[in-house]
Amino acid sequence: MRFDFDLFVIGGGSAGVRCARIAATHGARVGIAEERFWGGTCVNVGCVPKKLMVQAAEYGAWAEDAVGFGWDITRGGHDWAGFLARKDTEITRLAGIYRRLLDGAGATIFDARARLVDAHTIEVGGERKTAERIVVAVGGRPERPAIPGAELGIISDDAFYLPEMPKRIAIVGGGYIGVEFAGIFAGLGAAVELVYRQPLPLRGFDADLRTGLAEALVAQGISLRPDSTPTRLVKGEGGLRLHLSTNFSIETDCVFFATGRVPNTAGLGLEQAGVTLKPNGAIVVDEDKRTSVPHIFAIGDVTDRINLTPMATAEGHALADTLFGNRPRRPGYDNVPTAVFSTPPIGTVGLTEEEAARQGPADIYVTRFTPMRHTLTGRQRRTLMKLVVCQRTQRVLGAHMLGEDAPEIIQGLAIAMNAGATKADFDRTIGVHPSAAEEFVTLRTRTRVAGELAAAE
């Protein structure tokens, strides 16, 4: 059978665009469809605009801190509308780059929704196209909680286009989106309440990081509501009122639900094509990204594995090389570094203390200090740095940091850890002085041992 395309990619985000572009450069006939915006969540309503918002919020604090260094800077009001306009200009520029990359590689672009009619046929923009292989890379979408009045709140997609900066905002969710936007809105002058169901924010992260972040959020003036879930949201004369499971209620101007994301697979025709899904809608794949239908693949957040943009990009590239580049390979999932752009930010790679302890005894090194900058500004901000080391091999299993420049610092440590660095390798490395980063190579005194009981048993 002669197909219209060797490969058809559904989804124009980081995973899909990389896969389509590399496959096309290998000589494949490639079609790719995107119904909303090129670049996907990351470029349009995720990583990129969010970091610009984090940076916008930082300038207000820097203006206040400048007096400690002899500068007389008066902090004025923030031009929300002007900032959004400049943000939108940059996002439009980046989305255009994604299209141009595909055009340059020779891929056929469809600005339309695509769905599977059968295992080899795609309906896109009123046409039907056939493909020998199909890749699903549609990502995820934010989800509102199933409570009365949830439609009165916003989700993360909406936060990038709010017509006005709210004076009061309640953010529901203690994951990375919730804590990041708590810092953003607090930095831009809003009164922020952060509601989450765990005792500490950032479930799944290292416990010391979680505790340190909670303290940092309070230091910014953010009101924390742990061990709480929303029960209903109502509109009143004074704004919105969010009712919580603790019988407490919050009056606010805006409620932001950061309560999770789900794979964006509804209505794609996957079931008709025979593709197996998990209960949450995620596509089941093997180690080669192959679904239950051998010639249909899925990459990126739609598989709900490691939902990070660089991971999605790596998966897309590896799959294209495997299918069309005569270079079969898989991306690595060990020691994947990640950042949370909270205030201050977090950088982390490898195992948490809890995860390492389950594998056997681990030496734990922790330091907390006030950064040099804030010895003059007086701002109540502490940096936390931590190493998790296998006691038997002395290999560094985890590195975690809460503090300014943490994402920039953790990237280098991820390289070292992927190369198998031991604590002795860290110890013999000369630090860059004066810097926060040097603390990672000057940690000499073990704070505690984790996992001894598990080892004894």
Catalytic center residues:
433
Q: Is the dihedral of CA 422, 425, 428, 429 positive or negative?
A: negative
Contact present, 403 and 341 (Cβ < 8 Å): no
Compute the chain's Rg from CA coordinates: 24
Helix axes of 207-219 and 176-187: crossing angle, nearest 10 degrees: 20
Give, as one character, the DSSP assignment of residue 36: S
CA 56 to chain centre: 19
Q: Is the dihedral of CA 13, 18, 19, 24 positive or negative?
A: positive
Q: How far apart are CA 404 and CA 269, in angstroms?
A: 45
Give, as one character, the DSSP assignment of residue 299: -
Q: How far apart are CA 350 and CA 359, in angstroms?
A: 13
DSSP states of 41-102 as a string? Answer: HHHHHSHHHHHHHHHHHHHHHHHHHGGGGT---------HHHHHHHHHHHHHHHHHHHHHHH
Contact present, 401 and 360 (Cβ < 8 Å): no
Contact present, 417 and 440 (Cβ < 8 Å): no
For β-strands 261-263 and 346-350, DSSP reports them as unpaired
Q: How far apart are CA 300 and CA 14, in angstroms?
A: 8
Contact present, 356 and 388 (Cβ < 8 Å): yes
- The DSSP element (H or E) to which 209 belongs, if any, is helix 207-219
